[in-house]
Amino acid sequence: MEGSGDGAAAIRVMLVEDEDLYRDLLRVVLSHQSRMDVIGSFADGESALREAEALAPQVAILDIELRGGMNGIQLGLALRRRLPGLGVVLLSNHGDPEFIASLPQEVIAGWSYLLKKSVSDVASLRRAIEGAVAGFVVLDPQLVIGLRPRRGSRHAGLTPRQREILALIAQGLTNSAIARELHLADKSVENQINAIYQQLGIDREDTSVQPRVKAVLIYLQESMYQRDGPPGDLMRQSP
């Protein structure tokens, strides 16, 4: 696939999904998107891991509940060891953002979490992919809707407007997109984000983790979520 009219190169995408029909659906959806190039499609993690370095994807879209020797989180971590700059988009039938929150802080940047039913929402899919490539943490909008601040948390100390902006950051919106969504000036959004960082205790001089990533991680860790089913302990499944 060629880049879009602005001359930007296409994002190289690898798919790993063990359901044949859903994998085909993903491939078709992405083939109709500008600046998206599916360069590999696999039904299991082992095959994807063998071919990943030769394919050199920029982002891997992984079913979190892969059958076989490894699940999507384990595969994502293994791929990251071989391709450190790789963005990862996890797909799941069940909402459980704790899977992302439980990742080590040193690898959290560049992971997105999307519900499978949201793949048809092209805007959410693109934000998840582009956010992962850019090194952000992007959550499915439906997951964000279910998040509530824990009592006494730093997140709970934000104003309603600041919580609204933080929720949009978690969905992968840029400052300009947030301004358009909330009918605010770009400068007003920037000021509010600075206030959010201050309330959350984020040191912008610390470059080890990007401030937006820190903010989303705190948002996840200090929120409650009403799950749609019992969570599995995917991080501890035996490979």
Handedness of CA 34, 35, 38, 39 (dihedral sign): positive
Q: Is the pLDDT of residue 44 over 90?
A: yes
Class of domain 145-225: mainly alpha
Axis-axis angle for helices 72-82, 45-55 (nearest 10): 30
The residue-averaged pLDDT of 180-203 equals: 96
Question: CATH 1.10.10.10 spans which residues of the chain?
Answer: 145-225
Q: How far is CA 104 from the centre of its chain?
A: 15
How far is Cα 206 from Cα 108, in angstroms, rounded to an integer?
16
Contact 155, 223 (CB under 8 A): yes
The string of pLDDT tens digits covering residues 78-88 is 999 999 999 99
Q: Chain-wide mean pLDDT for the chain? A: 87
- What are the strands, taking DSSP E only, across the chain? 11-16, 36-42, 59-63, 87-92, 111-115, 138-139, 147-149, 223-225
Class of domain 11-140: alpha beta
The string of pLDDT tens digits covering residues 138-185 is 999 988 988 888 888 998 999 999 999 999 999 999 999 999 999 999
Question: CATH 3.40.50.2300 spans which residues of the chain?
Answer: 11-140
The string of pLDDT tens digits covering residues 51-72 is 999 999 999 999 998 887 889 9
- Please list, in sequence order, all residues whose beta carbon lies within 8 angstroms of the beta carbon of residue 165, skipping any fewer than 6 positions away: 178, 182, 189, 192, 193, 196
190: left (phi over 0), alpha (psi -120 to 50) or beta: alpha
pTM: 0.86
3: left (phi over 0), alpha (psi -120 to 50) or beta: beta
How far is Cα 147 from Cα 220, in angstroms, rounded to an integer?
8
How far is Cα 64 from Cα 89, in angstroms, rounded to an integer?
9
